[in-house]
Amino acid sequence: MKNISLVMGRGIEGCGVTKFTIEQAKYYANNDDDYKIWASKDKTWSRKNAHTDIENLEHIKFTEEEVNRMISEINTTDVCIVNSLPPKSMKEEAVNQFARILKEVKVPIVLIQLDHNIQSLRRNCLMDEFIERADMLFALSPTGAFGQYVNKIKPGKVVYPYEIGFDFDAISHVRVPLSEQDVNHHKWIGRTVSWKGFKPMFEFAESSLTPGGKLITFEGIDRSPAFLGFKNDHEFQHHLADNIEGFEFEYGKLPYVFGSYVHSEMLHRLARSGFAYQLSILKPASINMALEYTHCEIVAAGAIPVFRKAYGDNCKHRWSDKPLTECEDTGTVWLDEYDHKPAYKLIEELSKDDAMREDYRKMSLDFYRDHQDSQHVYESLMDKIENNI
């Protein structure tokens, strides 16, 4: 396939779907495929400016005129890949215009579902209709919430697995020598949703990092509806409205919590942290082989990755099919939320041994690039599409 239409019914939300689409588009560009991204601007998202590097983008309102143009152009391409559906909070008129894709697009339609849980799936409009219409369905794990839902409403329809692809070399420019890292700076990046794992980060900070005199920063916390619970359940220093650049920190204090970030700027701060955390909490059936983008960004930026052990126990390596925690030379600190001592012991060893830290940085980059590099991930995705439609 040499001409691909990508559709983001949810628009530029600045989270995983946006990043997935950017990486997907880079793969097409690198392989001399033509593509265009169609994204709604009917709804504004708080993180819409997190990514500013989106090329070949048509950012449109779902009006009759604009949807006419979109459908007309899609029908000149080889395939229409829908990376997200409109949210239920979008105006009905816009959703109705988007729904015209179901009947008026004449090329094969592929629906890629990135949501992990049933609550997120229920926030989408037209889910049943696109499951029925799509020529192929993809999910990060066919046994997860989406696969279970498809089996309920359309028994026998295949849900194909895929992973997110990540170009590890694309952000190599942010990596710095060990001498420019703050080995006592521990950074968590994510969003204000509980499954992103901010609770285990607070628990580890309280049990080990703060008593050990470390600096703990959170980035990406926004004032979503979940922020009320976040604020009430945890002790921290509130700086959501403050600029993190140039901020004067004290070590061994309560975690510093900052708001949404510009992605490119955050990566430079991440690269200067000694250790960085990705502690996502997902049901085993939802994981399969898939990592989150923050797993990959931490590794690519050169911080020592601290990942949730329970996630690694259930995430299979794409080549060996072994759980990541059973693989050798991962360069990863695995944090068990029920026993913090092994992870903290290893962190202390790494903090005192520059050669060991450099080995871990190299091992983690080699290991996770082999697992989830964009070239083979998207090549596998497109091979499945070309062989099945």
Helix (H, G, I), strand (E, B) or coil at 330: coil
The pLDDT, as a whole number, for residue 52 is 56
Can you spell out the DSSP letters for 162-212?
Answer: ----B-GGGGGGG---GGGSEEEEEEEE--SSGGG-HHHHHHHIIIIITTT
H or E segment to which residue 44 belongs: none
Task: Give the relative orientation of helices 16-30 and 374-388 as an angle to the nearest 10 degrees.
Answer: 80
pLDDT, residue 47, reads 54
Render each residue's pLDDT in the chain as its tens digit; 389 residues. 689 999 999 999 867 788 899 999 999 999 999 999 999 998 776 555 555 568 889 999 999 999 999 999 999 999 999 999 999 999 999 999 999 999 999 999 999 998 877 888 888 999 999 999 999 999 999 999 999 999 999 999 999 998 888 999 999 999 999 999 999 999 999 989 888 999 999 999 999 999 999 999 999 998 887 787 788 888 999 999 999 999 999 999 999 999 999 889 999 999 999 999 999 999 998 899 989 999 999 999 999 999 999 999 999 998 999 999 999 999 999 999 999 999 999 999 999 999 999 999 999 999 999 999 999 899 999 999 999 98
pLDDT at position 1 is: 64
How many CB atoms neighbour CB 78 within 10 A? 16
Residues whose CB falls within 8 Å of the CB of residue 189, separated by 6 or more in sequence, listed in order:
218, 219, 220, 261, 266, 270, 276, 277, 278, 294, 297, 298
- Residue 118's H or E segment, with its range, is helix 118-121
Q: Quote the CA–CA distance of 366 and 186 in Å, as a whole number.
A: 22
Closest CA to 317 of 308, 330, 306: 330
The pLDDT value given to residue 50: 53
Give CA 151 to chain center in angstroms.
25
Name the token pair of 46. 């708080």
pTM recorded for the entire structure: 0.88
3-class DSSP state of 214? coil
> If we measure between CA atoms, which residue out of 304, 307, 300 comes closest to residue 268?
300
Fill in the amino acid letter for 48: K
Give dist(CA 278, CA 259) in Å, integer.
17
Q: Amino acid identity of 269?
A: R
| Contact by Cβ (8 Å): 193, 224 | yes
Distance in angstroms (rounded) separating the CA atoms of residues 107 and 105:
6
**How far is residue 257's CA from residue 322's CA, in Å, rounded to a whole number?**
36
Could you tell me if 110 and 389 are in contact, meaning their C-beta atoms sit under 8 angstroms apart?
yes
Instruction: Give the residue among 303, 374, 287, 363 at the shortest CA–CA distance from 331.
Output: 363
- Choose among 16, 13, 25, 53: nearest CA to 278: 16
Count of H-run helices and E-run strands, the chain: 15, 14
The burial of 159, by beta-carbon neighbours within 10 Å (0-12 exposed, 13-18 middle, 19 or more buried), is given as buried
